[in-house]
Structure 1
Amino acid sequence: MKKNERSSKMYTATSNFLLNMVADGTSVGVATFNNKGRVVHQLLTISSQSDRQQLVASLPTTTGGTTSIGAGLLACITALNSSIDGLEGSMIYLVTDGEESRAPYIADVQPEITTNGVIVNTLALGNESDTHLGGISRASGGQSFYYSEDEDSTVLTDVFAASVVDTSTDMLIQIESKSFSLSSTQPYEHYITIDATVGRDTIVQISSSESNDIDISVTGPDQTIYTETNSTFGITTIKIPNIAKSGSYKVSVTITSNGMIPAVLNVQSKVRIPGETTAKLSVWLSDDTHVYGSDAPTVVYVAVLKGMAPVLKCDVIASLEGYNASNIQLHDNGIGSDSRENDGIYSAYVFSNNFERSGRHTLKISGQNINNRAEILKSKEKSNTFPYYSGLTTELVWNFQRVILSSEISVTNYSTTPLTDNIKPGKITTLKLKSVQLMGNKLQIVLLWKAIGDDLDVGTGTISNSFSKIKQQPEQCTKLTNNIPIPKLVGSTEQHLVTIDDESLNRYIVVRAIDDVGNKGDYSNIVSVSKLTDPAWTTEAINTVNLTGSFVSGGLAIAILLVMLILGLGLKIRLSNANDKKKLIKEKRNQKQKSGKRESSKKHHNRYEYENRNNIV
């Protein structure tokens, strides 16, 4: 992209941020830098449209000269020091298309930034921008973003919308962000959902280099048609007056100029009642650097919360900008990258074969509730405690849609050489005891777990019928039974009937998956069974029909089942599960999931390996 075109796009996006996104009451200043840093507008608390126009007028329209990013950061610190008491919690939004070539450098000023508690969010424009931007963002607790300059990129809109969400108490919600092409013979139509918790200050925008030739109309759920537009800086805007009614809106876009024209749709709104909560997406990565071909994939986490209440059963998708068919489905099912089911935190692995080059990449997240499937997990009694620690109930959620941008992912060591199979299958974390029965001098134990597939949480699996010594010589397995379940899709419930000798010993059982080239997954959580000395064993025959159909779901139902086993069968059953004490969101941000990915994983299969260790009571 030519430098003047890049400057024009940046000016347009920044102007839109100041005119339409920043909340009243926010203090904003502007600083520029090349070889020196300069404050061009001191901090101004926005209270009117005139204030916004004043800030826009101070924005630079051209760029040039050498680059001293450190000088720009120091100019921002100077402006903040002269206007506010204390710097902690202040934010700097640093945007550059250059590589620093003159002191002071980022490293020179970073201690002052971090010591004073200033948060720096950075946006790199194009591949030539400095690679150290991510470092100052991480060190200060901010985020780093990347704009690829592709015609279909929505980053320039998304990054500023994310900034407002982070800073504003009058929370801005980005409903939709989507690139498209249109011509005089190919108009564009798209449907969006405004849910019952938002609708205030709703705007629909189309960004295009041919904005003067664009016509937009928005049809509301009551068939009201909105056509009044305002066009500035290449952006055509329709504002829905008052409070937008909840429901489905149709956006129609036409253009009179010839040829295919790229454009970007952006829809944003605010909570219907100031101070109320709404569904919100938060995204973070296990690592912002991905080493191509390693056995350590990047994990993307997305929390979908309404206040502190998890929102369950959403459709959450991550997509890599610039890649076709790059959608990655996130799950909240307790399998693979997801450490606990139904906590409102969705996750997925991003593997090496998701990438086609080295360098920076942008990951965009969309979350929506389709056909009123989603539910809010909440406390039965109103309280300020996190909902996992009190009685729980669920309620259905309105249809909604949201988008959010992730921090950049930097890929290193990309190669066109085909990826080798160095990836172990995922760890089974859901192993449970369904039932235990004494049949003569044999114990019959039904095990249940969720199928994990090959390559962590992708694909399907096959099952072996072997046990081995726990964590020792797993290749030396002992055959226990021929009752092998049929392989199922990832996430489906697997069941297996195990028969072992009845002795007065503890029984500890684990399962692990081994793929068709011998890569061994980690051992599952451990389940244990021990015979009590006083009650008599039951000798009723076990019913092995429709075990999957009778499997109860949910923590409460499982707890009741265990009590029944203890009282009715005279067994003491202990479940050891690594997920029993899941950390809250802030702790989970520090998680590092280290696994990997091969090409064409769906063509590979797993077998499951069981282990049984005896310990004298």
Structure 2
Amino acid sequence: VTKFCNEKNHNKEAPNMQNRICNFRSTEEVILFDSVDKNTAPMQSLPPSPKFTVVRKGGRVTCLVLDVSGSMGDMVTEASYDLFKASFKKFYFKQVKILIPTYWSKGNYSRVRTETYDKANIIIDEPNPQYGDQPYTLQYGECGMPGRYIHLTPKFLLDDSLTEGYGPRGRIFVHEWAHLRWGVYDEYDSETPFYKSGKKIEATRYTSVNPVPSGALNRHKKTSFCDKSSHNAEAPSKQNRICNYRSVQEVIDLSEDSRNSVPMEESTPPTPDFTGERILRQQQAATVFLRRIIEEQSFVGIVTFMHTATIRQDLTFINDEASRNHLINSLPSNANGGTDICAGLKKGFEVLRQDDGDTMGDEIVLLTDGESEITCLDEIAQSGAVVQTIALGPTPNEILRDMSRISGGKYFVASDNLTSNGLVDAFASLSTFDGDFTHLTIQIESSGMETEGEDYFTGTASVDKTVGNDTSFLVIYQTAPPDIDVRSPKGHLYFDKNFKHDAASKTMTLQIPGTAETGDWKYRIFNTLTSPQSLTMTVTSRASSADVAPVMVKAHMSQQSSDGSKPMVVFAEVSQKGLPVTMANVEATIVSSDGVKTELQLLDNGAGADVEKNDGIYSRWFINMRNGKYSLKVKVKGGDGKVKLNPPKPPINEDDLHVDVGNFTRAVTGESFIICLPTGVSPPNFPPNKITDFSAKLEEDKVFFTWTAPGADLDQGTAKIYEIRMGEDLDVIWNNFNRAHLINTASYKPQQAGSVEQYAFTPDNRTIQNGTTLYFAIRAEDIDSMVSDISNIAQVAKFVPFIPPPPPPPVKPTGKPPAPSSGGSVNITAIVISVTVVVVASS
């Protein structure tokens, strides 16, 4: 078999994540209908072979410790043919670029352009303790939403013995690519490997017909995606739960890729190709970037532009504090009228060419607060340079976002308001991670406050055991230098006299010598004026050891732009070397360009916008959608934060599966995003979110339900009523929900979103017989009569196993021969058998 699981062979009964998240659709259905490749037409012959380009990164990348580029090329080339067949000649891998570390020996490598480690589709790194050498895809969005990256290990690529357990590398890669590109989920489930179907115990798998484990290409033999005809909708899988019982192929069919593609005519695919106040705010933020963010061994130049552009500092090699100070002293301190962004960019390209005559792979950080006609997008694209854009002020130029997008850069919108600390946060987020976390600047704290005269601005920055080197406290003030005291966890006090004061930039910096103490650092900033002034505190640090990876946070929106047709999700990934950090308090602040603020507590509870519980991905829907540009900031506090480990086999003590990282704080800024509603269209009103953790349990003849409460608008507010229905046929529940038997829940009042709901009922005039399987689903309704999607389907079954009677006890000898029987009669012994009733329930 060389196809993805499609509608015909998808197992809708399996309790897997593909069914749960993708609404019982097969892998093929997701690819053809949901993914970004859904409009691709099949080719008529095999695709061409991939073409590989290896590029050399100008910085250390510790994950690439072995020469695996050859194995990588073989795997992707093999995968290209498998994908071509599985997608009915629609898809193949055309171009692949491999980023290698700078410390590798010189070879025939191209120069890096816009490739970066943190934007890679595939990361080759040492094993994640949670997975070992098993390939996996980091994904946590809704069904059909692309994942973040595929993780492979050098051993997986080099050790052929692993293919005996995992299967051919090409097919494994296509399996993971379906997760990454088209947002399908697994149809097998390690949490629920078996489930009850009728009077049989079934394995959780993609098909109810053929016992193979996965819908997104079988690990050994299967080379087609599971479709509607073979999908097992009963299985308690992630695909069923998240994709609304759709098969993998159904999800793929709905993708943009599939809709935009037609089959090719070739029989084989081509080979992949591997290839005043505002100027002060700018000065303060650029100083932070030059002093704290940009790495050693970097080259930096400075250009200013108004109606014309000027080189203020040629490329300067950063190797000590003096070189950083030299650049800081070159920052502008005043501004005149006029803004010509393209003139500034062209002058920036001129500076970048000073080292080797080329701009390819170099970086420009563009900070602007003005409107300008931008006619140089083609030149930016052809330069090969990455443009990171920071737009300051309430009306940023919309083309700036396109400038970053076409060059592979990031786009930020920062407020003029000092207390938001937005400009400093944007610069801090430009710290690049190339796999070597020892050079990474980590933002521990970022807060601001409009402080009344002769009053305090206070806070806490928690330094955990994973950070502590090169720790600094930066205070920015608006008018006059404040009094400051910082208390270490062991009680050591630092005062404003210990801070380095730069009166010109209105900053005060405290550098902690050595490794900062682990624990809570308390700070108090006293406004010595009798009138209010704005004060901010920024705390940064680096990894405490090369042997211990720091706790890291990444934040982003599900979309970088929206027209309001679908809700947006806020994501924050909290991890330590790929392992999830659970039980943290995560808060997101979203601010529009006109100053409207929305604060959300992100959750990792496996309900609402959150796909998987305790996976370190904290999520929440953003529903206050108004026209404008928005900034995103996430703060994390981990008073009881724990790193969740994957249990080895055989299982070990549950207490050993979590590592306490202690108190920690983090502050990160995600890329800015834009909302542009169609003209005349009001802001959208959303229904309650789909319930994805609905479960049922049978005790005697009573059924007990549990689920997480949705809101009135997605996962916010309180729903009005619940509607629970039941039946003995899964298809009736899913396809004809209104025809299924209604359970009376009129007296039950929904709780606030995020609460745990519980409800029990006894079926009227119904005795649950042996072998009976009942299916249940629920949906919520708000006060505007808007109803949620139907939940995942829960099921209970009653199973009374047959127990054969024991043999009769032996007759003890009496010493006398038995009396002869008359007429052939026999002795009859009465045996009482105890029958145990076993009830099997699953969700």
Q: TM-score scaled to structure 2, two decimals?
A: 0.55
8 Å contact kept, 2:288–2:428:
no
Please give the alpha-carbon distance, in whole angstroms, between the structure 1 residues aligned to 2:776 and 2:842: 11
Match of 1:73 in 2: 345
Q: Does residue 95 of structure 2 align to residue 95 of structure 1? A: no
Counterpart residue type for residue 396 of structure 2:
S
**2:590–2:632 CA contact under 8 A, matched in 1:** yes
TM-score relative to the length of structure 1: 0.74
Deviations 1:285-318 (A, max 9, x none): 0123344xx4622211000011111000100001
Q: Which residue of structure 2 aligns with residue 457 of structure 1? A: 715
Which of 494, 502, 525 is residue 792 of structure 2 equivalent to?
525
Aligned AA (1:159): A
In 1, Cα distance between equivalents of 2:741 and 2:511: 70
Q: Is 1:394–2:658 an aligned residue pair?
A: yes
Classify 1:34/1:498 alpha carbon distance in 2 versus 1 (closer, same or farther; 3 Å): farther
- Helix, strand or coil for the counterpart of 2:430? helix
1:107-506 matches, cutoff 5 A: 107-113=377-383, 116=384, 118-164=385-431, 166=433, 169=437, 170-182=439-451, 185-211=454-480, 213-227=481-495, 228-232=498-502, 233-274=505-546, 276-291=548-563, 294=564, 296-321=566-591, 326-352=598-624, 358-370=627-639, 373-380=640-647, 393-413=657-677, 422-435=685-698, 445-461=703-719, 462-464=721-723, 466-467=725-726, 469-471=732-734, 474-476=737-739, 478-480=741-743, 487-489=750-752, 490-497=754-761, 499=763, 502=769
Residues 343-401 of structure 1: CA deviation (Å, up to 9, x unaligned): 0000111112xx6x64222221100013xx2211123569xxxxxxxx98112220011
CA deviation after TM superposition for structure 1 residue 157, in Å: 1.4
1:380-435 residue CA offsets vs partner (Å, 9 max, x unmatched): 569xxxxxxxx981122200111111222323349999967x42211111123423
Does the Cα contact within 8 Å between 1:70 and 1:108 map onto a contact in 2? no
Task: Encode CA deviations 1:490-541: one digit per residue, 9 max, x unaligned.
Answer: 2414344463665977654332223343212112223456788x9449xxxx
Bigger shift: residues 31-40 or 325-334: 31-40
Q: In structure 1, what is the equivalent of residue 287 of structure 2?
A: 15
Q: Which has the larger radius of gyration?
A: 2
Structure 1 residues 165 and 223: CA distance shift in structure 2, 3 A: farther
Asked whether the 8 Å contact 1:536–1:570 carries over to 2, the reply is: no
Distance in 2 (alpha carbons) for counterparts of 1:484 and 1:89: 64
Distance 1:185 1:505 in 2: 74
Residue 514 of structure 1 pairs with residue 793 of structure 2: no
Tell me which amino acid in the other structure corresponds to 1:216: I
**Deviation digits for residues 595-615 of structure 1 (CA, Å, limit 9, x no counterpart):** xxxxxxxxxxxxxxxxxxxxx
Runs (5+) with no aligned partner, structure 2: 1-275, 650-654, 804-835
- Is the partner of 1:139 in helix, strand or coil? helix
C-alpha distance in 1 between matches for 2:450 and 2:394: 25
* Partner Cα distance (1:85, 1:452) in 2: 58
Q: 1:78 to 1:431 in 2, by over 3 A?
A: same
Q: CA deviation at 1:181?
A: 3.1
Give the whole-Å Cα distance in 2 for the aligned partners of 1:290 and 1:72. 30
Look up the SS of the partner of 1:221 in the other structure.
Answer: coil
The one-letter code matched in structure 2 to 1:299 is V
Structure 1 unmatched runs, 5+: 383-390, 538-567, 576-617
Quick one: which amino acid aligns to residue 667 of structure 2? V
The amino acid that maps onto 1:272 is S
In structure 2, distance between residues paired with 1:20 and 1:392:
37
Pairs within 5 Å for 1:26-41: 26-35=298-307, 37=309, 39-41=311-313
Find the residue that maps to 1:398 and give its secondary structure.
coil
Measured against aligned partners, the alpha-carbon deviations of 1:314-342 in whole angstroms (never above 9, x if no partner) come to 00001234868732110001111111111
Contact 1:203 1:268 in 2 (8 A): yes
Shift of the 275–14 alpha-carbon distance from structure 1 to 2, 3 Å rule, reads farther
Decide whether aligned partners of structure 1 residues 82 and 505 sit closer, same or farther in structure 2, where only a CA change above 3 A counts: farther
Distance 1:394 1:504, change over 3 A: closer
Moved more, 337-346 or 257-266: 257-266
Counterpart AA for 2:784: V
Contact 2:604 2:617 in 1 (8 A): yes
Aligned CA distance change for structure 1 residues 63 and 529 (closer, same or farther; 3 Å) = same
Question: Whose strand fraction is larger, Structure 1's or Structure 2's?
Answer: 1
Q: Distance in 1 between matches of 2:759 and 2:386?
A: 50
Alpha-carbon spacing, 1:466–1:54, altered in 2? closer, same or farther (3 Å): same
Closer, same or farther: CA 486–111 of 1 in aligned 2, 3 Å: same
Distance in structure 1 (CA, Å) of the matches to 2:787 and 2:770: 30
In the alignment, the residues of structure 2 paired with residue 465 and residue 525 of structure 1 have an alpha-carbon distance, to the nearest angstrom, of 12
**Could you tell me the percent identity over the aligned residues?**
26
- 1:231: how far off? 1.2
Q: Secondary structure at the match of 2:379?
A: helix
1:131 to 1:183, Cα distance in 2 relative to 1, 3 A: same
Match of residue 84 from structure 2: none
Question: Are 2:419 and 2:536, in contact at CA under 8 Å, matched by a contact in 1?
Answer: yes
| Contact 1:153–1:321 under 8 Å retained in 2 | no
Shift in Å, 1:480: 4.6
RMSD value over aligned CA atoms? 3.6
Instruction: Give the deviation of 1:165 after TM superposition.
Output: 5.2
Q: Which has the higher contact order (CA 8 A, sep 6+)?
A: 2
Structure 1 counterpart of 2:579, which letter? Answer: A
